[in-house]
Structure 1
Amino acid sequence: MNLLIELLAFAVAIGVLVVVHEYGHYSVARWCGVKVLRFSIGFGKPLFQWVSPKTGTEWTIAALPLGGYVKMLDERETGAAPIPADLLPQAFNRKSVWRRFAIVAAGPIANFLLAIVLFALVFATGVTEPAAVVAAPAPNTPAALAGFDGGETIVAVRTGNAGESERVRSWSDLRWKLLGAAFDHQRVVLSAKDAHGTSDFQLDLRGLTEKDVDDDFMSRLGFEPGGGKLTVAGVQPGSAAQKAGLAAGDRLRAVDGIPTDNATAFIAYVKSHAGKPVTLQVERGAPAGQAGPAGQAAGKLEDISLVPQSQRDDATGQQVGRIGAELATQVPSIDVRYGPVESLQLGARRTWDLAVYSVRMFGRMIVGEASLKNLSGPVTIADYAGKSARLGPSAFLSFLALVSISLGVLNLLPIPVLDGGHLLYYLVEAVTGKVVSDRWQLVFQRAGLACIVALSAIALFNDLARLIHF
């Protein structure tokens, strides 16, 4: 059943993205007076064909759905019959360089516009996200050095002392604001509320490099969602947790006197204490009818001592501590919803931020500052398409927007055979007044094809490596 969902979600995602991309080319080509001969979704043997009596365009759905193309009238088409004189003005190659530039650029631009609309829909319809409540940070992290103790709710961010304060609505909103400040190497001031009122915390991001900005960016800063409940969901037989008496349903309140409400921080602490005794403060089930602060059930607090077992970490090869308990975290959440205008503005900003991040990440991979493992192929895309579809419409639309941005950025790369390569030719033509010769275009096309094949092979290898956990 999960495989079927993944395949359907993948087919919908690819279908929507390809149609939007190619329709961008098609619509601008028609607007520029170019005759479009064929609009194809997929490659290979046609499964469905229809010719528009108005435009003469052949609309096709082909057997291999991984892509598509728009074929335009062009005198340079090898092996084609001569174009009638009355149709020559509608040939693509007869148009000005800027019209050709607009037609080619329209595909990636359509992907960016789609992402803006999808993000705007998510923002306008509302989404449930973790609240911007901070868990107790690990020692010596930027969050700890800034003065966070855990339990604070971040409500605003401003750049430096004179910057304009921006409201923080959720954990995701906080992450994006800090990500942007980190890319720009800025110092920010975070306003946060706790039981004693509102305080300002200065966070210096100027020392971060682009290599530090990755999926673990917030964890590197010492920020993890907090304010919730960390409970034991299960205990492995024969583990240190079982021997110490931990049981499913126990709520973990503290470890060695340090309050804990986040699984990531708790696991990191346990890993660093392999073979060393730790003391857990655990809240057991509450007596019937008894309630604690804020209406929560008040259970019995117990101190449990145990020694994490030393085991080899497959990822790092180092010995780490494990107690053999499955954890579940319930963090406070908030419904985030924006007005139509603000949703469009946020959609455009999110699209821009992700596009810039994608370009920078690709640049880091080229110079060796980021791993090529970040490249993903169709298998990973299908996997995430299925996972996001099972999470609900908002997650799937956000995933679709993310892939649309990636497709737009990829096509704008100055690699021959991609849209970006053709745009580079047109820029050279606009500057020099001369068309790039067929000989050089053939050389560049072969080089570009080699790049695409190499990138595809790496992406496919990464997909297979993830499947077999290698």
Structure 2
Amino acid sequence: MIQTVLAFVFALGSLIIFHELGHFLVARWCGVRVLRFSIGMGKPIFVKKFGNSPTEWTISAIPLGGYVKMLDSREVPKSEMTDDDLREDFSGKSVWRRIAIVAAGPIANFLLAIVLFSVLFMVGIADPIAKIRVASQTSTAYQSGFRHGDHILRIDGEAVQSWSDMRWKLMQKGLNKQDAIIAFERPNRDRATSMDQLEIKLPTSQLSASDLEADFLNKMGIGLYRGLATIQEVSPNGLAAKAGLQAGDQILEIDDHKILDGRELVDIISASPGKTLTMLVSSAKQEFEVQITPDSVLENGKRIGRIQVPLASNMEMTTITYSGLDAIAKGAFKTWQTSVLTLKMIGNMLLGDVSWKNITGPLTIADYAGQTARIGLISYISFIALISISLGVMNLLPIPVLDGGHLLYYSLEVLTGRPIPDKYAEMAQRGGLAVLLCLMVVAFFNDIVRLMS
């Protein structure tokens, strides 16, 4: 819990700081006086000024969001303002300067994501190769022509670098209602050292919105290839040792059923409490058969089988690395792709094609922050980059109260040559606040339901 809280506070705090720094720095560059830079909302609990600077650096009570308060003649009568005040007045600046100041916050979030992704690409991102598990002959993947162990090389002519890259490309195809033309390689049965290059069409256009919200690869019968079921270690007095199994042995068959990988081995053993199983085993020297009867263990009110043998991880991994400008270009491209995908998901929600259950709030973000922090630094940094993009996209939505709402006002001012009347702006602000509160209620509700389930 402590790790989750700390990971959440650091992630959210750093994103808020970068967002508000964008506003602050461009405001100062445009000659606007910044009265307060606040991390958090509501009542200030810490206030600090540095030297003769007019800016109060503040930490506020509600740790969700932040703001930069600028000198604004809409809030202070011009009759009470000095010439210096008027020169540093936000509302007195040209519309293009106001647009730059407001847009700087979301842009800072996108720039942060580009920097983080670029660093990750320079360091190297480890990911499983795009080698697939196809277990069911009735699945869409099998019917399309895929077989267990196929290695994906390209999707619509674009090289596939890893499992995550493959999943990303197929998700985009599904969202765009397009089929995917997939090139892959498969070992040649007649020539053990040769690989056949093949190509099939996967009907990703048939994926529904609900499929894309869930594990759409599993829906199509595609899983991650994990290699043969290999025993990592054997307890001296355990069931496996008594049956003659040793570390490094590979389980090939159970009761004449070919075992694809460790996942299938676990499934069969779990479904066989107290039942004697005949295993075909391959060791370093020979193949042999053993019989073993899994213990019957009560778990969640159900009897399952266990032989208490840890399995080795046989996933084939690759490390994606770029250098210099290539890493920056790749980071910028990934930020762009993620932003576009986020907008598409929002659009599909508005059209009713995607469930509003996908709206998440601070509880889910905190949960994922803790999970990724426990996995490792690279996963945690990737998580922060993704949340930074989401924050940037959400703030650009044309909802009054958000940055996007203000940009909408200023865009109309550019088109009409005059600012929106204050009374209409006030009405829009109230409406935008109501929309924002509704979204927050939905997000908290979804968070609670997700955590409870």
TM-score for both structures, normalised by structure 1 = 0.79
> Matched residue pairs, number?
429
| Residue 56 (structure 1) aligned with residue 40 (structure 2) | no
Percent identity between the aligned chains?
41
Aligned to 1:295: none
Aligned to 2:436: 452
Matching residue within 145, 148, 159 for 1:167: 159
| Residue 261 (structure 1) aligned with residue 261 (structure 2) | yes
Matching residue within 28, 31, 35 for 1:30: 28
- TM-fit CA distance, 1:452: 1.2
Structure 1 residues 362 and 270: alpha-carbon distance in aligned structure 2, compared to 1, 3 A threshold: farther
Spell out the pairing of 1:183-262 with structure 2 (5 A cutoff).
Answer: 183-184=175-176, 185-194=178-187, 195=192, 196-205=194-203, 207-209=205-207, 211=209, 212-230=211-229, 253=252, 257=257, 259-261=259-261
Counterpart CA distance in 2 for 1:197 and 1:446 is 64
Output the amino acid matched with 2:333. R
Structure 1 residues 468 and 90: alpha-carbon distance in aligned structure 2, compared to 1, 3 A threshold: same
Counterpart CA distance in 1 for 2:425 and 2:120 is 42
Deviations 1:416-443 (A, max 9, x none): 1111111111122112223222222222
- TM-fit CA distance, 1:303: 8.3
- TM-fit CA distance, 1:363: 2.1
- TM-fit CA distance, 1:166: 3.3
Aligned to 2:284: 291
Matching residue within 12, 19, 22 for 1:21: 19
Matching residue within 96, 99, 103 for 1:101: 99
- TM-fit CA distance, 1:125: 0.7
Helix, strand or coil at the partner of 2:132: coil
Which is further off, 207-216 or 420-429? Answer: 207-216
Aligned to 1:150: 148
C-alpha RMSD over aligned residues: 3.7
Spell out the pairing of 1:351-430 with structure 2 (5 A cutoff).
Answer: 351-430=335-414
Counterpart CA distance in 1 for 2:396 and 2:213 is 23
Deviations 1:351-409 (A, max 9, x none): 12221221222222223222222121111111111111111110110010111111111
Counterpart CA distance in 1 for 2:259 and 2:343 is 40
Residues 111 and 408 in structure 1, CA contact (< 8 A), matched pair in contact too? yes
Q: Note the residue ranges of structure 2 that are not aligned, 5 or more in a row.
A: 233-239
Structure 1 residues 428 and 205: alpha-carbon distance in aligned structure 2, compared to 1, 3 A threshold: farther
| Residue 349 (structure 1) aligned with residue 333 (structure 2) | yes
- TM-fit CA distance, 1:4: 0.9
Residues 213 and 354 in structure 2, CA contact (< 8 A), matched pair in contact too? no
Helix, strand or coil at the partner of 2:107: helix
Deviations 1:78-114 (A, max 9, x none): 6898221233132111122222112111111111111
Residues 173 and 205 in structure 2, CA contact (< 8 A), matched pair in contact too? no
Which is further off, 112-121 or 203-212? Answer: 203-212
Counterpart CA distance in 1 for 2:433 and 2:140 is 44
Counterpart CA distance in 1 for 2:208 and 2:50 is 50
Counterpart CA distance in 2 for 1:254 and 1:438 is 76
Deviations 1:141-200 (A, max 9, x none): 34213322111222x2142xxxxx433222112222323333442532323242541312
Residues 373 and 379 in structure 2, CA contact (< 8 A), matched pair in contact too? yes
Helix, strand or coil at the partner of 1:357: helix
Output the amino acid matched with 2:8. F
Residues 417 and 449 in structure 1, CA contact (< 8 A), matched pair in contact too? yes
Structure 1 residues 149 and 120: alpha-carbon distance in aligned structure 2, compared to 1, 3 A threshold: same
Structure 1 residues 90 and 335: alpha-carbon distance in aligned structure 2, compared to 1, 3 A threshold: same
Which is further off, 389-398 or 346-355? Answer: 346-355
- TM-fit CA distance, 1:257: 3.8
Aligned to 1:139: 137
Counterpart CA distance in 1 for 2:179 and 2:407 is 34
Aligned to 1:74: 72
TM-score for both structures, normalised by structure 2 = 0.82
Residues 342 and 393 in structure 2, CA contact (< 8 A), matched pair in contact too? yes
